[in-house]
Amino acid sequence: MTDMWGDLVWAALADLKTRLVLVLPGILAMITLAAVGLALAWLSARVTRRVAQALSFDRRAETWGIVAALNRAGVAKSPSQVLGLIVFWSVLILFLPVAIDALAIPGTGRLTEFVFSWVPRVLGAALILLVGWLIANFLSEGVLIAAVNARLPEARLMARAIRWGVLLFASATAITHLGIGKEMVLVAFGITFGGLIFALALAFGLGGRGLARQMLERHMRSREPHPRETLTHL
């Protein structure tokens, strides 16, 4: 009985040794690739921050409204640091599937293919959202300044409508770029955008009656002849 128990233990240890010999190279390769990816991610983030600071990206981001948006979101880091973090995690996410694939576990190859097929789409959608957000802030500020200079009472409403309209369009474009429910997104965007335009038209129509009356009265008064210009009989 003791000999049988000893044989079972030695057989289990031998099987464990065989499995370790098969798995250990994959584990070492995974650790090496993960370390290389981590080092490259750190180096890329550091270079990105240095280049952004050299190009005065923080000052430009403040004029674009990025700093104010980060403060509203509770982010205490500068725009160059946020850009460095984005680069860091992007590089690390690209290396992690390759490191996991080095284990040669069944099914990990599909994970790598899935990540590499979706990363360009996600980056493209993020770029679309970023550009749309910048354009929305720029147009919103421009409309607000123009409306305030024109003394329109609905200046803030117009600026917010422009901003949310551009953001809605950018969001719909980003989701369509990802290939998630293209037809449903287009229909929902059309209904939402149409409802927004109708609501704005109704709001401007109801709220601008007094303004339209003032403009018409001013125009009619400007066309009336001046008392000195009227002819009288002697």
Higher pLDDT, 52 or 165: 52
Contact 125, 178 (CB under 8 A): yes
167-197 core/surface letters (b: 16 or more CB in 10 A; e: else): bbbbbbbbbbbeeeeeeebeeebeeeeeeee
Q: pTM of this prediction? A: 0.55
> pLDDT per residue over 136-177, tens digit each?
877 888 878 877 787 767 778 778 888 888 888 888 888 887
For the chain, list the domains and their CATH numbers. 1-105 (no CATH), 122-223 (1.10.287)
Q: How many CB atoms lie within 10 A of CB 37?
A: 19
Higher pLDDT, 56 or 24: 56
Strand, helix or coil at 233?
coil
